[in-house]
A and B are shown apart, each in its own frame.
Chain A
Amino acid sequence: MALVVLIHLAVAGILVLFRRPLGRWAFVVGALGPASTLLWAALNGSRVLSGDPATESFTWVASLDLTIAFRVDAYSLLFLLVVAGIGLPIFLYSQSYFSPSSRATNFAATMTLFAGSMVGLVAADHLLALFVFWELTTITSYLLIGYYDQKAEARSAALHAALVTGGGGLAMLGGIVLLAGEAGTYLISEITANPPVGSNVLTVAWALILLGAVTKSAQFPFHAWLPGAMAAPTPASAFLHSATMVKAGIFLVGRLGFAGVAAADWWQPAVFTIGFITMVLGGWRALRQYDLKLLLAFGTVSQLGFMFLLLGSGIPALAFGGLAILVGHALFKATLFLSVGAIDHETGTRDLRRLSGLRRSMPRLFWVTTAAALSMTAMPLTLGFAAKEAAFDGLLAESVWLIAAAATASTLTVAYTARFMFGAFGPAVPGTEPATGKRLASRSALLWAPALLAVMSVGIGLLPTLVLPIVNGAAKVVSGVAKAGKLVIWPGFVPALAWSLASLTAGLLLAWRRQLVDRTTEAVGRVAERLPSADTAYRRSIPALLRFADRSSGLLQNGSLPAYIAIILMVAVTAPTVAAIGESPVLVTPPGGSMLEWILGALIVGFAVALPFVRRRFAVVILLGGVGYGIAALYSVFGGPDLTLTQLLVETLAVALFAFVLRHLPATFSRPATARLPRLAVALAVGAFVFFAGLVVNGARSSETISDTLVADSVPEAAGSNVVNVILVDFRAFDTLGEITVLVAAALGAAGLVIPVIRDARSRT
C-alpha cells in the first residue's frame, strides 16, 4: 500500500520537475496514480474480500507511537475503488479540459498528490497516520480550489475550505490523542474491535473527532465552505468536492461510528440531528441556485448529510445502505459534475438561465447526463434506486421519523434534479441572452469520461451483484454483521417502496410546478437571508478576527519604546517580588557603612538625582562623570584598586566620547514628551525592588565562596599576586577573551555607523 502512495508522490514529483516535456501529457502521467491503485486492488481485491486484510506498518517516531500503518480491509477497499475508479476517468477528462500549460501541470501534480493522500487516508489503520493524510487532503484541496488565483473569490474560497477543514482536523487531532489515551492504542482495528467505554474523557474525545468529520464532510453548521469550493476547476470539484475528499468524514464516522455509539449515548442523536439538518438544508438551498455547479454542490451537501446519518448511526442496516448510496453518489455526482464541466467548457457559462438548446446541440452529453440524473433521483432500475431502497429499508426498521426525514430530502432531490435538467438542457429563461453549445466529438474525453461513469452507474443498477460483495464486505467489517441489507434491482412491494414512491411522486410534482416552487423559494429565501447562516457567520468571523487581531496587538504592540521598557521593568520587579513573598522572605538590615561611604554615597546620589533636572547637555556630561568618579572612589573603599583605576579611565574616555557626540547635538535637551508621573512610579518601584531584594539576598548570604580557592591558588599556581588580574588573564581568561571580542565588535559597529556619514559629507564638499 505504501508503494501505491509513494507512486502517487513520485508521479507528482516527476510532473513538477519535468514540467516542460511532460506538459502535454500531464494528466495522462498523473493518471498513473489512480491506475496503480486499481492495479493494486485487482491484485489484492479477492484476498481482501475473503476477510484477509492487507497490512503494512512503518514506524515514524517510535516514542510518540507515530506509525504509518495500513490495513486494507473490505471497507477500505470500497473507498479505494471509489477514489481510483472515479479518479482515473477524471484525470483523462482533465487532459481534454485543460490546455497544456505549466499551471495545468501544477494542477495535475497537485491532483495526483491529492489522490495519493486519499489512498493513504482510506487505507490507514493508525489514527495518526489517518490524520497525516487527512491534513494532506486539506492542503491539496486548498491549492486546487485556489487554481484560478487571480480571482479573489477563488482565493477566499480556498481559505474558507482550508480554515474549516483544517481547524476541524486540528480539533480531531486532540480527540484522537485523547481517544488513544483511553484506548491504549492508535490502531483503528483495535479500537473498533474493543471500543473503550466508561470515561468522561471519551465524551470530549468523540466530540472532537465528530467535529473533524463534520467539517470535512461539510455537515451543518460547517457546510458553507463546500459551495464556495466550486471556485475550483470542475475536475477538482468532481473529484474532491463530490466524490472523494468530502467523503473522508463519512469514511471516518463509518469506521468509528460503532465505537462512538458504544462510548457515548449522545452520539447517535447528534449524528441523526446533524445529518438531517444538513440533508434538508442542502436540498432546499439547491433549489435556489442558478449556477449548475452550485446546484450540484448543495445537492452534494444534502446527500452527504444523508450518508453521514446512515454511516454514523452505528446501525448495521443503515451502514449497509449508506455504503451503497456512497458508491451510487460517487458515480452519478462525478458524472454530473463532468457534464457541467463539458457544458461550461463548450458554452462558457454554467448559468441555467442562459443555457438553451443543449439537448439538440449536445445530444450525447444530454443522454449521459440524463442517465446520471435518473440515478440521482433514485428512479427504479438505477443504482441510486437500489441503494436508496436498502437505506429506506433500514430506516423504516428504526423509526418512522427517520424515514420521513429521508423521504423529505428525497423529495427535494427530485426537485432540484429536475431544476438541473430543465435548466441545463431546457429552453433559456426569457429575457436573458441564451448560450448554445456545440457538439462534442465522441473521442473527446469531455464526453466519454462522464459517459463511462454513467455506464457504470446504470450497469451496476441493473446488475447490483457487481458491487454487492464489496458493499457487503465493507458493511460487515464495520458493523460485524454479514448481509445487513439487500441490493437488488427490484425489491418487490415492500413498505419502504411506498416511501420511495411517495417521495418520488412528490418530487415530480414539485418539478412540474417548478415556477411556483421558484417563487416560493425566492420569497422564503428573502426572509432566510436575514437569518443567521453558516455562510454569513464565516463571512463575519474573518473581518472580526482581523479587527480583533488589530486591536489586541495594537494594545500591547503600540510601537513605543518607553512603554515596552516600562512593561518589562514592571514585570521584572513584580514577578520575583510575588514569588518571594509567597515564601515569606526575611529582611536582614546590614550595618550602615563607614563615614567615607556615606559621604561618597551622598555625592553620587546627589549627582544622579540632579541628572533628570538638568537640560544643558554639557552639564549633564559633567554630572555623569561625577557619578562615575564617585563610584570609582567607592570601589577603592571596597578594596578594589584595579576597579578604581579602570573606572576612572573608562569614565574619562566615556565622558570624552559623550562630548564628541553631544557637540553635534543641540545644546539643551528638549523636554521629554512622555508623562512624568508614570515614569516616576516605575522608577520608584524599580529602586524599591533593588533595595529590598538586596536586603533579602543579604539575609541569605553564603558563608563560603569559590574565591577562597582563587585567593589561595593565585601565587602558588598562577604566579601572580594581584588576584583580580590573575582572575582576568588566567582563572577566568575565557571571560576576558569574550570581552575583548565584544569590544572589537562594538568598535567596528560604531566606526561603521559614523564613517560612511563622514565620507558622504567629504565627498559632497
Chain B
Amino acid sequence: MKTRPSAILEAGVIAVSGPVLVFSAYLLFAGHNQPGGGFAGGLVAGVAVLLVWAAGGTDTVRKVLPVRSTVLMGVGLLVAAGTGFAALLPGLAFLESGYAELSIPLVGDVKIVSALFFDIGVYLVVIGMVLALVRALGEDATAEEVPQ
C-alpha cells in the first residue's frame, strides 16, 4: 500500500498551484508579444494539475478542479473553431483576425486582438487534455491499490 501524502503537503501544494495558475494565465495573455501563448499557458496549468495530483492523487485533482476534462476540451474546440467562423460574419476570411485598441482606465491603451480568443480555445483544450491524461493515467489501475 502506498502511504498518502500528509495533509500539510496537500494544502501546501494546492496553495502553490494557485500562483502557478495565475502564471499560466499571464503566459496566455502575454503570448502575442512575449514568449508564451495558449500552449505554454495551458501546459503550465497542466503542470499545476500534476502538482495537485502529486499532493493527493486523482481524488484531490477532482476536488480542486471540479470540472470535466471533456467540457474543457469541448469548449476549447468550440471557441477556437468558432473564432474562425466568427470572422466570416463581417465578411472576412475564415480565421482572419482583427484588432481593436481600447483605453481602459488605470491600465491605459490595450490592443485587443481577436486571435486572442483563438488562443484561449487552445489554452482550454491543452488544460483539458492534461487533466484527462492525469486523471486516466494517474489513477491507480491495479485493483488492490484502489482506495475504498
What residues make up the interface of A, taking CB atoms closer than 8 Å to B? 641-642, 645-646, 649-650, 652-653, 656-657, 660-661, 664, 718-722, 724-726, 728-730, 733-734, 736-737, 740-741, 743-744, 746-748, 750-751, 753-755, 757-758, 761-762, 764-765
B143 A761 Cβ-Cβ under 8 A? yes
Please list the 10 inter-chain residue pairs (A to B) with the smallest Cβ-Cβ separation, ordered nearest first. Answer: A649-B43, A761-B143, A720-B32, A641-B35, A721-B33, A660-B137, A740-B125, A747-B129, A729-B115, A747-B132
Q: How far is the CB of A618 from chain B (nearest CB, A)?
A: 16
Q: Which residues of B contact A729 (CB under 8 A)?
A: 31-32, 37-38, 97, 115-116, 118-119, 122
B132 A748 Cβ-Cβ under 8 A? yes
SS of A interface (majority) = helix
Q: Which residues of A contact B128 (CB under 8 A)?
A: 744, 747
Contact of A733 among B35, B95, B146 (CB under 8 A): B95
Contact of B35 among A642, A741, A757 (CB under 8 A): A642
B80 A740 Cβ-Cβ under 8 A? yes
* B103 interface residue (CB < 8 Å to A): no
A765 to B146, CA, bound (A): 8
B32 A743 Cβ-Cβ under 8 A? no
Known contacts A737-B80, A764-B143; A743 and B136 CB within 8 A of each other? no
Selected A-B contacts with CB under 8 Å, 26 pairs: A645-B40, A653-B46, A656-B134, A660-B134, A660-B137, A660-B138, A664-B142, A720-B32, A721-B33, A725-B33, A726-B115, A728-B38, A728-B122, A729-B32, A740-B126, A744-B125, A744-B128, A747-B129, A750-B133, A750-B137, A751-B69, A751-B136, A754-B139, A758-B141, A761-B142, A762-B143
A642 B40 Cβ-Cβ under 8 A? yes
Q: Which residues of B contact A650 (CB under 8 A)?
A: 43
A653 B136 Cβ-Cβ under 8 A? no
Q: Which residue of B lies closest to A764 (CB)?
A: B143
B146 A762 Cβ-Cβ under 8 A? yes
Known contacts A641-B35, A728-B39, A737-B95; A761 and B119 CB within 8 A of each other? no
* B21 interface residue (CB < 8 Å to A): no
A740 B135 Cβ-Cβ under 8 A? no
Q: Which residues of B contact A652 (CB under 8 A)?
A: 47, 50
Q: Which residue of B lies closest to A757 (CB)?
A: B141
A765 to B97, CA, bound (A): 54
A656 to B43, CA, bound (A): 13
B33 A722 Cβ-Cβ under 8 A? yes
Known contacts A649-B40, A737-B95; A765 and B32 CB within 8 A of each other? no
A761 to B141, CA, bound (A): 7
Q: Which residues of A contact B81 (CB under 8 A)?
A: 737
Q: Which residues of A contact B121 (CB under 8 A)?
A: 740
Known contacts A649-B43, A661-B137, A740-B125; A733 and B118 CB within 8 A of each other? yes
* B73 interface residue (CB < 8 Å to A): yes
Q: Which residues of A contact B43 (CB under 8 A)?
A: 646, 649-650, 653
A764 to B144, CA, bound (A): 10
B77 A741 Cβ-Cβ under 8 A? yes
* B63 interface residue (CB < 8 Å to A): no
Q: Which residue of B lies closest to A743 (CB)?
A: B129
A664 B141 Cβ-Cβ under 8 A? yes
* B113 interface residue (CB < 8 Å to A): yes
* B55 interface residue (CB < 8 Å to A): no
Known contacts A656-B50, A755-B136; A718 and B36 CB within 8 A of each other? no
A734 to B95, CA, bound (A): 8
A657 to B53, CA, bound (A): 12
A719 B118 Cβ-Cβ under 8 A? no
Q: Which residue of A lies closest to B40 (CB)?
A: A645
Q: Which residues of A contact B37 (CB under 8 A)?
A: 642, 722, 724-725, 728-729
B77 A657 Cβ-Cβ under 8 A? no
B35 A645 Cβ-Cβ under 8 A? yes
Contact of B69 among A656, A657, A747 (CB under 8 A): A747
Q: How far is the CB of A313 from chain B (nearest CB, A)?
A: 73
Q: Which residues of A contact B129 (CB under 8 A)?
A: 743-744, 746-747
